[in-house]
Amino acid sequence: MQLLFDPIWDWPWVLLAAAGTLASVIGTYRQRLAHLPAGPRRTLLGLRLLAWVILMFALVRPTLEFSHSDPHAAVVLIYADASRSMGIKDAAGGLSRREALLKTLADIEKDLKRLGRDIEVRLIDFDQEATQVETPRTDPVGEQTAIGYVLEQVLRFSEGKPVALLLLLSDGANRALAPRDVDPRAAASRLADQQIRVDTVGFGGTGLTDSSLDLSVEDLEASPTVFVKNPVIVAAKIRALGAQDRELTVRLLVEDPASALPGQPPPMKPATAPIKLKPTRPQEILPFELSFIAQEPGEFKMTLEVLPLEGEPLIANNSLTTYLTVLKGGISIAYFDREHRAEIKHIRRLDESPDIKLDFKPIRLGPPGSKPLVDEDWFAPGKYDVYIIGSVPARAFGRAALEKLEQRVEQGAGLMMTGGTLSFGPGGYAESPLVNCLPVKMQRTEQQNGDTVDPTLHYDQPLQMLPTALGIQHFVMRLDTADKNLTIWKSLPALDGANKFSGLKDGALTLAEATVNDRKVPLLIAQDYVRGRTMAFAGDSTYHWYQFGRRDEHQRFWQQAILWLAHKDQQGDESVWVKLDARRFRVGQSVGMTFGARDAEKRPIDDPEFTIEVIEPSVPGSGERRQSVTPQRAGADHMAKFADTTRPGEYQVRVEAKKDGQAIGLATVARFVVYDQDLELHNPAADFTLLEEIARITGGVTVPPEELGAHLRKLAQQGLNLEVTQIKRVSLWDNWPVLVLFVLSLSGEWYVRKRRGLV
Distance CA 322, CA 204 (A): 33
Q: Closest Cα to residue 579, out of 639, 634, 529, 531?
A: 639
Q: Which residue type, as a one-letter code, is found at position 74?
A: A
Looking at residue 326, its pLDDT comes to 84
* CA angle, residues 512, 515, 516, in degrees to nearest 5: 130
Q: How far is CA 245 from CA 281, 315, 317, 584, in A?
A: 8, 19, 21, 32
Domains and CATH numbers, the chain: 2-68+728-755 (no CATH), 75-202+686-722 (3.40.50.410), 214-324 (2.60.40.10), 331-565 (3.40.50.880), 576-675 (2.60.40.1930)
How does pLDDT run across 277-289, given as a tens digit for each residue?
Answer: 999 988 888 999 9
Stated as kind and residue range, the H or E segment containing 215 is strand 214-222
Q: Closest Cα to residue 511, out of 457, 440, 420?
A: 440
Distance CA 191, CA 25 (A): 62
User: Does the model's pTM come out above 0.75?
Assistant: no
Distance CA 720, CA 115 (A): 9
Distance CA 394, CA 396 (A): 5
Pairing of strands 331-338, 356-363: parallel
Q: Dihedral (C-alpha) 494, 496, 501, 504: value to the nearest 10 degrees?
A: -30
Pairing of strands 163-170, 75-81: parallel
Q: What is the DSSP string of 283-328?
A: EEEEEEEEEEE--S-EEEEEEEEEPPPTT-S--TTSEEEEEEEEE-
Looking at residue 210, its pLDDT comes to 41
* CA angle, residues 623, 625, 628, in degrees to nearest 5: 155
Distance CA 727, CA 381 (A): 67
Q: Dihedral (C-alpha) 502, 508, 514, 515: value to the nearest 10 degrees?
A: 60
Phi, psi of 292, deg, nearest 5 = -150, 165
Q: How far is CA 101 from CA 96, 161, 171, 414, in A?
A: 9, 26, 10, 57
Q: Dihedral (C-alpha) 450, 452, 455, 456: value to the nearest 10 degrees?
A: 0
With beta carbons less than 8 A apart as the criterion, state whether 565 and 416 touch.
yes
Distance CA 88, CA 681 (A): 9
User: Mind spelling out the 3-state secondary structure of 679-722?
Assistant: CCCCCCCCCHHHHHHHHHHHCCCECCHHHHHHHHHHHHHHCCCC
Strand partners, 268: 255
User: Mind spelling out the 3-state secondary structure of 253-294?
Assistant: EEECHHHCCCCCCCCEEECCCCEEECCCCCEEEEEEEEEEEC
Percent helix, strand and coil across the chain, each to the nearest 5: 30, 30, 40
With beta carbons less than 8 A apart as the criterion, state whether 479 and 467 touch.
no
How does pLDDT run across 161-189, given as a tens digit for each residue?
Answer: 889 899 999 999 998 877 888 999 999 99
Distance CA 181, CA 697 (A): 19
Long-range contacts of 450-456 (CB under 8 A, 24+ apart): 450/421, 451/421, 451/422, 452/421, 453/421, 453/497, 454/421, 454/426, 456/500
Chunk the chain into consecutive blocks of 10 residues (it has 759) and report each block's average pLDDT, rounded to whole numbers.
Answer: 83 87 80 79 84 87 75 82 91 90 94 73 95 93 93 90 92 86 93 94 72 79 77 89 92 91 88 94 89 87 94 83 82 92 92 81 85 92 92 94 96 95 94 95 88 89 95 88 88 96 94 95 96 96 94 91 84 76 85 86 78 87 81 82 90 93 89 82 82 95 95 81 61 84 86 77
Q: Closest Cα to residue 130, out of 150, 159, 115?
A: 150
Distance CA 283, CA 206 (A): 8
With beta carbons less than 8 A apart as the criterion, state whether 349 and 402 touch.
no
Instruction: Give Cα 505 to chain centroid, integer Å.
Output: 17
How does pLDDT run across 640-691, given as a tens digit for each residue?
Answer: 999 999 888 899 999 999 999 899 988 899 999 998 777 777 677 788 999 9
Contacts of residue 673, defined as CB under 8 A and 6 or more positions apart, other chains included, come to: 321, 322, 323, 583, 584, 585, 649, 650, 651
Looking at residue 354, its pLDDT comes to 60
With beta carbons less than 8 A apart as the criterion, state whether 684 and 88 touch.
yes
Strand partners, 723: none
Phi, psi of 573, deg, nearest 5 = -105, 5
Instruction: Give Cα 403 to chain centroid, integer Å.
Output: 33
Q: How far is CA 397 from CA 372, 376, 406, 412, 443, in A?
A: 5, 8, 12, 20, 19
Q: Is 289 left (phi over 0), alpha (psi -120 to 50) or beta?
A: beta
Distance CA 575, CA 668 (A): 9
Looking at residue 466, its pLDDT comes to 97
Is omega for the bond preceding 179 within 30 degrees of 0, making it cis? yes
Looking at residue 416, its pLDDT comes to 98
Strand partners, 730: 64
Distance CA 259, CA 298 (A): 15
